Structures are given as C-alpha cells and as structure tokens.
Structure 1
Amino acid sequence: MFQVLSNAWALLLGMMLLMVGNGLQGSLLGVRGELEGFSTFQMSVIMAAYFVGFLGGSRMAPEMIRRVGHVRVFAALGSFISAVLILFPALTDPWLWTIGRVIIGFCYSGVYVVAESWLNNAATNETRGQALSLYMITMMIGIVLAQGLLLVADPSGFILFVIPSVLVSISFAPILLSINPTPAFDTTAPMSLRELVNVSPLGAVGMFLLGGVYAAQYGMAAVYGAKIGLSIAQLSMFIASFYVGATFLQYPLGWLSDRMDRRLLILLVSAAGGIGGLAGLFLGGYFPLLIASAVLIGGTANPLYSLLIAYTNDFLEPKDMAAASSGLVFINGVGAIAGPLITGWVMTTVGAQGYFLLIALLLIALAGYAAYRMTQRPSPIHDDNMQYAPVSPSASPLAVEIAQEFAIETQEEDDASANTA
C-alpha cells in the first residue's frame, strides 16, 4: 500500500481535487437551477446531458490520446472543465447549461481515461489491485468532500462556481509535474448487444436498469433535495450519504460475491436497495430516515455495478472479458442517459417523491429479473468463477478493463497455487 502511495500520490491527489470539482458542480447545479426557476424537466435534461458527454468522451478519448499524447489531452480537457464551470453562473439558461454539461461530461470522461492509463502504467502486477482500490476510494472521498463545500458560500452567487474551477485548475499541477507521458494504448471494442444478451441476459438488463439508478442518484439527488426544501446543510449530507454507503459496503459485498451464487446476491442486494427506495418514498419526511435510505441505496447500487460485471465474467473466457465489460459499460451509459429524463418525468407527474419511486421500481425490477434468471439455468461452478474486482460506475471503461486484468491475473495465480498444492 505504501509503495502504491509513494508512486501514485500525485495522481491520486490530483484526481481527488478533480472529483471534488465534479461532485460540487453536480450538486450545485441542482440547487441553483431551483433558485433560477428551472422546471424539473429542464433540470432532468441538464443532468442527463452529462452522461451523453461522458459516453461520447469514453469513445473518443483513446483516439485523441493516440494522436496528441496524454499530457496535451489532459491539459486541454481540464482547461475546458475549468472554463465551463466559470460560465455556468454567467449564462443561466437551461439550454446553455445543457451544452455545458455535455462538455463537462465529455471532458471528465477523457480525463479519467488519461489518469487511469497513467495509474495502470505505474502499477505492477503485484500492486495493481491496491492501486485500483486506492483510486476508487479517492474518487468517493472527493465526491463526499465536495458536498461539504456547498456550505461555504451562497449558491445564488458566483463563489461556489469559482471554487470547483480553481480546484480543477490546481489539480493539474501535481499530476503534470510528476508524471511522464505513457505510450499510446489500444482499448477493446465492445461486444455487440446481441452477444451480451446471449452470454448474460441478467448482466445486460441489470446494467441498463442500474444505469438509470446511478444517474438518478448522481444527477437528480440535488434536484430532489431542493424540491422538498432541504437546507443546504441537509442537502450536502443527503448527497454525501449515497457515497458513504458505497464506500463502506463495496468490499464486504465483494467478499460475499466470491463465496456464494452471485445471482442470489444480486437479488438480495437489489431488493435491499429497493427497500431503501421505498423507505425514502414513504418515510423521507423524517430526515434521519432520509439519510438512512440514501446510505442503503448508495451502498447497494454502486457495488451492483461490479457484481454484474463479475457475474457476466463467470460465463466468459478471459480473452472475451474486456470486450464484454466494454459492452456492459456502454449499456450502463445508455441507461444513465435515460435515468434523469425518466426521473424528471416521474417527478413532474407525481411530485418530488417520484425520485425515490423510480429508484425503488428499478431496483425491485432488477431483483425480480435476477429471481427469474435463477430459474432459467444453473449457476456457474463456484470454483471456476472469476474473482470480484471493485470498480465505480463513475469510472471510465479503461478502469473496468484494468479491473478485469487484475481479476484475471489473481484468478490465474490462485489456480496455479491450487494446482501446485
């Protein structure tokens, strides 16, 4: 662990600052949009726009890196992020914000690809798992810290937009001054939708549903909090609770996934998340229970991302895993684009509590489909299952590929040790 920190501290520090900026702008726009009188539908379009840009950036960033190099791509995209953050309070128009969010999503996706390729290059086979874990923890800490910054100034002013812009600009320094550019790399083309559905219907359907849940959690939580009249302090605690739950439950659920039928675990975790959604729907007027429901939803929805990838891997040869995971990430991205739009429509139709209603329905639907798939074919042989590798839904497809490499290497080492014994 100390070796990883000594080699990658600058990258991790820079990424944490970037995540603070990203986490703050998402929450801040939800609050500021309410103050500006934007409708719920307009805010849902604005929030969905981030995922449109993110999906496009994950496709185009590798080619940009191959053409001009890691440093130039990182610096250029980071500069665009900083500029757009400053423009948000000056251009308070919902359609201009939508364009800005597309640009932000595109740039953050590209920045993640660059950072994750540097991280992978700096890690060895022995330290890759630790490096990936530290990276994911750093991302979560950054988002949680961002929510506290909502308290330092009035969201109707400029200061809260200046802070993330400055943090993003500062984040370049430790990274660009301490890391050498790495060689160009090739990413894996995604497996076709038909092939993915044939290999793992639960993985494909689950990723689409989960994309809607994660996008609602990430994009619309601030809109919901503003609609029900939470104070800024309560809103920051509410949003942070999703990521606190994700941080603490990711590894225990990963440990369980390597020791039981993953479909059963997916069913149980989805059902628990659905219960959290129903608790928020019916009991969210009591703030402590609202926080508890957010912790439960975040703690179940985020690990489900890794669980679904691991379950799909159980039916694949190692050579096909990267292509399948890229396809799953794409499906998740499509679901993430649809998530805020559908959430906004439901909230407009039934009121602010439609936020929790949709999350509950999506997670219960995932649990129900997992139960159905358990009746269609037997579980893979447990000893042959690929190991669980934790990865965040907010990471790029490259991080998923790195996690896949780590899982395959670990599995091969375990198999070799078993054969030797």
Structure 2
Amino acid sequence: MRGSKRAIISLSALFIGVSFIFIASGLVVSSGGVLLNDMGASKTQIGFITSLFFLGALTCTIVSHRLISKVGHMRAYAIFTALFAICALLHDMSDNLIFWAILRFMLGFCYYSIVLIVESWLNEKTPNSIRSRVLGFYEIVFYTAFAIGAVIMSMNLSVTKVFIIGTISIIIGSIPLNFLKIKSPKIPKSINISLPKIYNIAPLALATSIIAGLSMNGFFSMASLFIITQGYTTAQAGIFIIVGMCGGFIAHTIFGVISDKFGRKLAIILASSIAFLASSAFVLINPSIIMQYIIVFFLGFGIFVLYALALARANDVLSDKNAYVEVVRALLFSYLIGSFLSTIIIGFLINQFGFIAFIFYYITLLAFLIIFAIFQKSVPKAQEVAFARHSGHSIIFDELNNDNSK
C-alpha cells in the first residue's frame, strides 16, 4: 500500500494534468451530439461526424508512436495537447458539418495520443507489484473527471462557452507535466494486426472486445442524443450519462472478484445479461426520466466491464504468453473499430426509427454476445490468472509497454 501511495504521489503532476484532459474529453465528446442536433444536423449526420472521433483514435494506434519516437514523450505531449486545444476551439469558428467532421477526427487522434503518452509513463514508472493499484487510481481519476465534463455539458451552455471551457481545461492539463523530471518511456514496437488469427486463438475475447466498443463508446457519444430526442433537457442528458458511468465504476470493483472465482466466460455472460435486462426494461415499462436514471445505472454496470473481461479472457486462453502483445493490440484495434461503427449505426437507427432504436441496438448486441458466449468453451480454473482491474481505456498500451521493457 505504501509503495502504491509513493508512486501515486511521485506521479501526482501527471494525474493532475490528465484529469483536466479527461474533463475536456467528457465535455467535448459528450456534447457533440447535443450541439450538432441544435445545429439542425440529421441523426445520421450526427452519428457519422461523431464516429470520426474514433477513426482518429484508430489512426493514432497506427501512426502516433512514430511521431512520439522522434520527438520524445514530453514534446509529443505538448504537441498533442496544443492540437487538442486548437481543434476544440475551432469548433466555434464555423457550423459547417464537413469542418466539424475534420475537427472530430483530429480530436480523437490527439486525445488517444495523449492517452498513449500518459499510460506509457504510468507503466514505465510503476512496478508490476503495485501496477493494478496505481491504474485503479488512474481509473478513479478518469471516471471522476469525465463525469465532471458531463456535468458541465448539462449546464446548457452555448457552443462558444462549451469549447472555451474545454480549451481552458486542455491548456491547464498541459502545464503540470512540465514539472515531472523523469526519463521518457520507451516506445513499443509496431505489431502486425491479424483479426482472423486472433479469432482462432480467442474468439470470445475478440467478440466481447468488438461488442464493448459498439456499446461503451456508443453510450458515451450518443446517449445524450437518445435523451434529448425524447424531449428532455441537456441537463437531464448529462445526468443520464453520469449515472451510467457510476454503474460502470462500481461494476469494476465487483467483476474482478466474480471473474476470478467463477471464470471470465460466466462473468461476460453475467455482465451482458444485466445490461440486456436493463435495456429490455426501457422497452417493457415505458419509464419516466427518473426510472431511466435507475435503469441506465444497470446498463452501465453491465457494458463498461466488457473490454476488461475480454482482455482477461484472452490472457487465459493463450498458450504462448509471448503472443499476448499481439492479441492486446488486435483487441484494441477491434474495440476501436466497434467504437467507430457505433455512432454511425446508432445515428442512422435513431434517424430512421426514433429514439427507441437506441435501446433495440443494445438489446441486439447483448443478446448476440450472451448466445455467443454460451457456446464457447470454459477455461480450466488452473489456467486462469488474476484479473487486471482495468477499464477499456487504461489497458490500451499496458501490455505493449510491459513487453517492450522486458
């Protein structure tokens, strides 16, 4: 415990800086659907423009490490935070949808590049014996800061104020890292990605990873549109997102124990079933906004642990642990593909069938995952390893950096 506290204190500037980046992300990303709706964009257009944020993230996984390797982590962090701030501020310059689409792509590219840099630092400077506790604290920072961003979004601010506040948060987030006097981490080597190969090795992990991307980031990006399309306010949309995140936060403290005791397959089925029942409740009981807050807690409780469970399942079924880096990279890639497609699909469905299509989207995804998981083999208990309590966010570059440092 003392070791983890010392590590957290020694990296306090990093945590403080990235917390403001997460606030900006929570504000800028969550508000996209609301602002585009106010501009008169169709639901399909909103979904496509929002999806480009995740296309930028996909691009980041392919090219960002090359830039970082040339200029170093400290300079790269300064570059990407500056670009992130500029792109956020430029949203107020025009309401042209093509212009916004380009900016969304750049926001995703810059944000995930910053995440790469921050998590490289954490993994480089944190021993294996305390890494889970340090990354657990990192998750608390992420959930808290992102929720603050969603709270700000719920204040029904103008476009100008939204992006000015976001820009200020990003600029503040760029300052603390300059106080860290530590050597930049090494850059992980580029690894070829083969989804068919990974499917043959860990089909349940790959399927769960894709569903996680489709469900988690579909929620982050489009849940606000789901609420305001029903005629509710921006403030109520912000509360809806925050409650769902609270469910996910609590689930991360519980599913680690469940997966360790009963296996990853059962944990995936249980999480998917809870989210499936919550989704079904939206349809069956025609809930008021208060009831929707209660139901979305359980939706978030189920979906926000799926990517972490996918990673744990992949680690369990690998006979060659040296291949884990390749598998993690492939799972990340599939997760981001799901994230990219999620907003396009949700936007199109809401545009064609109304807000209720958002719920049927989740019912379909989760039903598929439950059925698929049921027919997968269980992993012998002796083969399983301790579950890493990471969200789909913080594990992104964990194993890549661990492998590189060996």
> Could you say whether these structures have the same fold, taking a TM-score greater than 0.5 normalized by the shorter chain as the test?
yes
CA distance in 1, matches of 2:286, 2:192: 40
Q: CA deviation at 1:156?
A: 3.0
CA distance in 2, matches of 1:253, 1:157: 39
Report matched runs for 1:2-151 at 5 Å.
2-151=5-154
**Is 1:336–2:339 an aligned residue pair?**
yes
Q: CA deviation at 1:183?
A: 4.1
Q: CA deviation at 1:9?
A: 1.1
Aligned to 2:269: 267
363-372 vs 190-199, which moves further = 190-199
Equivalent residue of 2:310, what SS? helix
- Report the AA paired with residue 311 of structure 1: R
Report matched runs for 1:3-402 at 5 Å.
3-152=6-155, 154-187=156-189, 189-283=191-285, 285-316=287-318, 317-373=320-376, 378-395=377-394, 397-399=396-398, 401=400
Question: Do the aligned partners of residues 128 and 20 (structure 1) sit closer, same or farther apart at CA in structure 2, a change above 3 Å counting?
Answer: same
52-61 vs 274-283, which moves further = 274-283
Question: Do the aligned partners of residues 191 and 111 (structure 1) sit closer, same or farther apart at CA in structure 2, a change above 3 Å counting?
Answer: same
TM-score where L is the length of structure 2: 0.94
CA distance in 2, matches of 1:130, 1:370: 29
Contact 1:221 1:239 in 2 (8 A): yes
Contact 1:277 1:356 in 2 (8 A): yes
- Report the AA paired with residue 320 of structure 1: A
Structure 1, gaps ≥5 residues long: 407-421
CA distance in 1, matches of 2:140, 2:237: 22
Q: CA deviation at 1:250?
A: 0.7
CA shift digits 1:329-349 (9 cap, x unpaired): 111111111111111111112
Q: CA deviation at 1:361?
A: 1.1
Q: CA deviation at 1:404?
A: 8.9
- Report the AA paired with residue 261 of structure 1: G
CA distance in 2, matches of 1:269, 1:241: 17
- Report the AA paired with residue 88 of structure 2: L
CA shift digits 1:42-61 (9 cap, x unpaired): 10011101100011112212
CA distance in 2, matches of 1:257, 1:204: 17
Question: Do the aligned partners of residues 296 and 15 (structure 1) sit closer, same or farther apart at CA in structure 2, a change above 3 Å counting?
Answer: same
Q: CA deviation at 1:259?
A: 0.9
| CA RMSD, Structure 1 to Structure 2 (Å) | 2.0
Contact 2:153 2:238 in 1 (8 A): yes
Contact 2:188 2:400 in 1 (8 A): no
Question: Do the aligned partners of residues 344 and 313 (structure 1) sit closer, same or farther apart at CA in structure 2, a change above 3 Å counting?
Answer: same
Contact 2:32 2:221 in 1 (8 A): no
222-231 vs 395-404, which moves further = 395-404
TM-score where L is the length of structure 1: 0.90
CA shift digits 1:293-334 (9 cap, x unpaired): 221121111111111111121111321112111111111111
